[in-house]
Structure 1
Amino acid sequence: MPEASVPSRVLVVTAHPDDVDFGAAGTVATWTDAGIEVVYAIMTSGEAGEAFPDTPRSEVAALRESEQIAAAKCVGVTDVRFLHWPDGRLTPSLDLRRDISRVIRQVRPDRALIPSAELDLERIYASHPDHRAVGEAAIAAVYPDARNPWAHPELLEVEGLEPWTVPETWVMSMKNAEHAVDITDVFDRKLAALQAHASQTNGHTDLEGMLRTWGGAVAQRLGLGEDRIAEAFQIVNTR
């Protein structure tokens, strides 16, 4: 596994509002605290997800976008981009790869953070089909699409977006991820970010306890100690 570098700009690509907060909000907080610019690109607006009982379905997308913007502020992120793909209907298509490549060329990040494309039947909630579709499309956008001037040629020829190579990609929600980030000191901000997704988390009777249990297990598995909380990633050299 390559050593983690120190980027100046990170692009986070996810399927839904709240995905980054469950998987990596603590890590994002450590990055922004270190002066790293973080941009979110979220493929859908979560319009097929749960909502408050009195929220009309036509208003769910706007609600979930507003929750994600509020959650992002909890961890120091102000640039949140929604690509408005249909929730629950994502596939790793060429069009999705093109749209992610577009954002990569716009943002020009030193690091990408993406979902896992793996199907893990022991952790099925992390293996939502939209997550896997975005994971597969995003890694294809990182390599080879975004760096290749002849991939999606309209990005260069029509939109003037020069190719860009992302040298490092972090994958979240991997079953056997081996790179731990200690988030103990920013755990309260991860919790606040998830609480901002009230339509999704108000039903949890002990959200804080659940997150502490998850993060504590990761920290112990990766040798950080019993009193620590961590998030884990697979780091891929995409230089």
Structure 2
Amino acid sequence: MTTPPDVDVERALVVTAHPDDVDFGTAGTVSAWTGAGIAVTYCVCTAGDSGAFEGVPRGEVARLRQDEQRAAAAAVGVSDVRFLDHRDGRVVADLGLRRDIARVIRQVRPQLVVSHSPEIAWEHLVVSHPDHRAVGEAALAAVYPDARNEYAHPELLDEGLAPWTVPALWLSGSPEQRINRAVDITDHFEAKLAALAAHRSQTAHLDDLRDTMRQHLERNAQRHGLAAGRLAEVFHAVDTS
């Protein structure tokens, strides 16, 4: 069930809650897209400043994690990384977050947006952090109706940002029964690992990261009909028409 986007994509926008979310869930797919000439922008809604650290002053955590995310993005061919500076661990899908994401959508004008699922994946709860679900809900509302509706967030028109309709939305971390897209990232596994390794504050202590990720991605591929030994990232593609 390896399938491309349902629309021609020149620009894609990935909206996540924290630094490293995109790399655990989507970096292999992003590497494939940038390799094919697609321009990818990251929109990270927090700086990940509530993460647990040893030996790092709390006031330096946000800068550290932002620097790590920029390095991780570079590992998969992404240079446009934007941070919205909402509070880590306190994200809610309010009008402010919807507006901020809609603003980036109107700036980037992507044919495809990728974000978190707003649903709980009970079979793999770790992907359903409350911040993830809040960002997923706000991103869904930003895609439809906010970014395409000129009367939503009129301040965006005052900023010169015309409405933009996103033709395709993919959700990561969805419940298994929702998944309808599998992207073969076998040839981009090393790039994904390089992106994850850039998040040293989060991954340097994980001696088994390579094996754990390979096993997870192999299970994805097997569940969704790819050949033995292939690796896949999986998504719920949503009809936004």
TM-score category, normalised to shorter length: over 0.9
| Structure 1 SS opposite 2:123 | coil
Cα distance in 2, alignment partners of residues 121 and 215 from structure 1: 18
Alignment of 1:87-236 (within 5 A): 87-156=88-157, 158-176=158-176, 177-236=179-238
Structure 2 runs not aligned, ≥5 long: none
Q: How does 1:67-78 map to 2 (within 5 A)?
A: 67-78=68-79
Match of 2:12 among 10, 13, 30: 10
Cα distance per residue 1:131-176 (max 9 Å; x no partner):
00000000000000000011111111x2111000000001111122
The 1-side partners of 2:13 and 2:182 are apart by: 19
Cα distance in 2 for residues equivalent to 1:149 and 1:5: 23
Deviation at 1:204, TM superposition (A): 1.2
Paired residue secondary structure (1:77): coil
Q: How much is the aligned-residue C-alpha RMSD, in angstroms?
A: 1.3
Q: How many residues align?
A: 237
2:55: which partner in 1?
54
Query: What code does the residue aligned with 1:132 have?
Result: R
Deviation, structure 1 residue 27: 0.1
The 2-side partners of 1:186 and 1:120 are apart by: 26
| Comparing 201-210 and 72-81, the one that deviates more | 201-210
- Give the alignment's TM-score, normalised by structure 2: 0.96
Shift of 1:3: 5.8
> Identity over aligned residues, as a percent?
57
Instruction: Give how far 1:203 is off.
Output: 2.0
Looking at structure 1, the residues matched to 121 and 222 of structure 2 have their Cα atoms a distance apart, in angstroms, of: 21
Does the 8 Å CA contact 1:7/1:36 hold for their aligned counterparts? Answer: yes
Q: Deviations over 1:70-122 (max 9, x none)?
A: 00001000000011111000011011101000000111111100111011233
The runs of at least 4 aligned residues of structure 1 exceeding 6 Å deviation read none
- Work out whether residues 117 and 133 of structure 1, in 8 Å CA contact, stay in contact via their aligned partners in 2: yes
Cα distance in 2 for residues equivalent to 1:91 and 1:114: 15
SS of equivalent residue, structure 1 residue 12:
strand
TM-score normalized with structure 1 length:
0.96
Q: Could you say what secondary structure the match of 2:90 adopts?
A: coil
2:8 aligned counterpart, secondary structure:
coil
